[in-house]
Amino acid sequence: MKKILFVVGSTRRQSFNRQVADYVCELLQSRAEVSCLDYADVPFVNQDIEFPAPESVIRVREAVKAADALWVFTPEYNYSYPGLVKNLFDWLSRPLTAGDYETPTPIREKRVALTGIGGAGKTSKCREKLAELLTFIGAEVAEPSLGLRVDMAAWGTNQLTLDEEQKAQLAEQADSFLGLL
Ligand SMILES: Cc1cc2nc3c(=O)[nH]c(=O)nc-3n(C[C@H](O)[C@H](O)[C@H](O)COP(=O)(O)O)c2cc1C
């Protein structure tokens, strides 16, 4: 079974993006081995602490390397992706040893699916910019990405309800992504 590593771009306790990731995890049950990347402890990129890399960065690199693919679930922050997500991919873009730009980074040629849930724009600006970043650092972004809108009631309750159309869209994205692996 293929290993898919989920990356959730929000650390909010009741994150809608985490709720979508949980739904997709169920959807993939028995068709893929899913795990969720724990990266909240990764420090801000700073070239002063790159070599040797911090423990958390080593752990994240190993998790990415071991995965056949990544699936990012992220909110949109001000028409872009959250700084947390940028910081993670900035680390993953960097050489493992000082000055070694030949050895591929763990993110290089990794297939990545993108899903985002947010307001009326369905995270389109975030996904557009994130696809650009990921392509720049050598990942292979699976098209099309998927944008979803949070249902009105959930803004008050923090309990997301996906409608049938959204569930069908996620099922289609899952089938198509698995088909690429
Ligand atoms: C700093 C900040 C900027 C935001 N900008 C946007 C935005 O550009 N587009 C959007 O749809 N929602 C925006 N939102 C609202 C988020 O969609 C909302 O907070 C959502 O719950 C975040 O995802 P999460 O539930 O997975 O944490 C923003 C929220 C924050 C905190």
Atom of ligand 1 nearest to the CA of 18: 26
* Rounded distance from Cα 170 to ligand 1 centre (Å): 20
Tokens of 156: 């008050």
Q: Which of 138, 142, 151 is nearest to 174 (CA)?
A: 142
The answer to whether the CB of 15 is under 6 A from ligand 1 is: yes
Q: Which residues of 37-59 are buried (b: 16+ CB within 10 A; e: fewer)?
A: bebeebeebeeeebeebeeebeb
Say yes or no: CB of residue 81 within 6 Å of ligand 1: no
Q: Indicate if ligand 1 lies below 6 Å from the C-beta of 16.
A: yes
Cβ of 126 below 6 Å from ligand 1: no
- The chain-wide mean pLDDT, for the chain, equals 98
Quick one: pLDDT at residue 145? 98
pLDDT tens digits, 34-66:
999 999 999 999 999 999 999 999 999 999 999
From the CB of 17, is ligand 1 less than 6 Å away?
yes
pTM for the model stands at 0.98
